[in-house]
């Protein structure tokens, strides 16, 4: 199973991600990933709902803060280019310090 560290609330360098993956038990990693999803849902879903009104709360929670999933959803729902969706998502993540 490939771990996705993209939605971490604290920026990490690739070497520190490797270190975490090597030192943390699988159980600890699963708990941390669940915590990251909860952080996304509590802190950002409402702001994202305000910005992208065509997306439901359930859809936003399912993205778990994954930029690619969110951009794909926005591209489809709003019928915009992928570059435009990426730009919106990156701006949102920057503004909300994600």
Would you place residue 90 in the very low, low, confident or very high pLDDT band (cuts 50, 70, 90)? very high
Dump the DSSP string for 27-87: HHHHHHHHHHHHHHHHHTHHHHHHH-TTS-HHHHHHHTT-HHHHHHHHHHHHT--HHHHHH
pLDDT in tens, 14-65: 444 444 445 778 888 777 666 656 567 667 899 999 999 999 999 998 888 8
Q: How much is the pLDDT for 96? A: 83
**Does the predicted TM-score (pTM) go above 0.85?**
no
Q: How much is the pLDDT for 78? A: 97
CATH of 14-95, one of 1.10.1470, 1.25.40, 3.40.50, 1.10.3430: 1.10.1470
The full set of domain ranges for the chain reads 14-95
Q: How much is the pLDDT for 37? A: 60
């Amino acid at each position: 199973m490939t771990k996705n560290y993209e939605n971490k609330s604290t920026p990490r360098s690739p070497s520190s991600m490797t270190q975490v993956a090597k030192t943390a038990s699988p159980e600890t990693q699963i708990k941390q990933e669940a915590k990251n999803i909860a952080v996304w849902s509590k802190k950002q879903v409402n702001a994202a709902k305000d910005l992208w009104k065509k997306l439901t709360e359930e859809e936003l929670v399912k993205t778990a803060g994954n930029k690619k999933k969110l951009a794909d959803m926005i591209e489809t729902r709003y019928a915009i280019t992928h570059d435009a969706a990426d730009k919106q998502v990156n701006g949102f993540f920057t503004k909300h310090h994600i």
